[in-house]
């Protein structure tokens, strides 16, 4: 699976990129037909409570695109929540395909 990562408004360190990469690479264990992924890491300036780390993950799945977006205090937490949301979507999609 090809994973493209973009850090917007900051330079992501290698440790963060590796963390995100390992989390996203685990998604094919849930659903096999993932063609690629695109990850956006953003710093939001508009928040006052410091939950300004935003992670968006877009998966190219055979037939459609699956998307998750989460905002938290750390990129790691936002990545975990985004991956969990994607897992739920992929499981639902897999069940829907099995019923056909």
pLDDT of residue 47: 61
Indicate the number of domains in the chain: 1
CA dist., res. 96 & res. 79, Å (int): 26
Q: What is the CATH number of the domain that holds 90?
A: 3.30.160.100
In the predicted structure, residue 1 carries a pLDDT above the cut 70: yes
Model confidence over 22-66: pLDDT tens digits?
999 999 999 999 999 999 999 987 666 778 899 999 999 988 999
pTM of the model: 0.92
Two structure tokens written together for 12: 């992501």
Quote the mean pLDDT of the chain.
93
pLDDT of residue 83: 98
Q: Is 79 helix (H, G, I), strand (E, B) or coil?
A: helix
């Amino acid at each position: 699976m090809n994973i493209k990562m973009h850090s917007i408004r900051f330079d992501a360190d290698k440790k963060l990129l590796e963390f995100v990469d390992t989390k996203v690479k685990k998604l094919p264990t849930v659903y096999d037909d993932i063609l690629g992924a695109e990850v956006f890491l953003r710093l939001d300036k508009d928040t006052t409570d410091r939950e300004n780390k935003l992670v968006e993950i877009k998966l190219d799945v055979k037939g459609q695109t699956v998307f998750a977006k989460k905002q938290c205090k750390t990129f790691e937490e936002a990545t975990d929540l985004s991956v969990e949301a994607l897992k739920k979507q992929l499981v639902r999609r897999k069940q829907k395909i099995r019923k056909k």
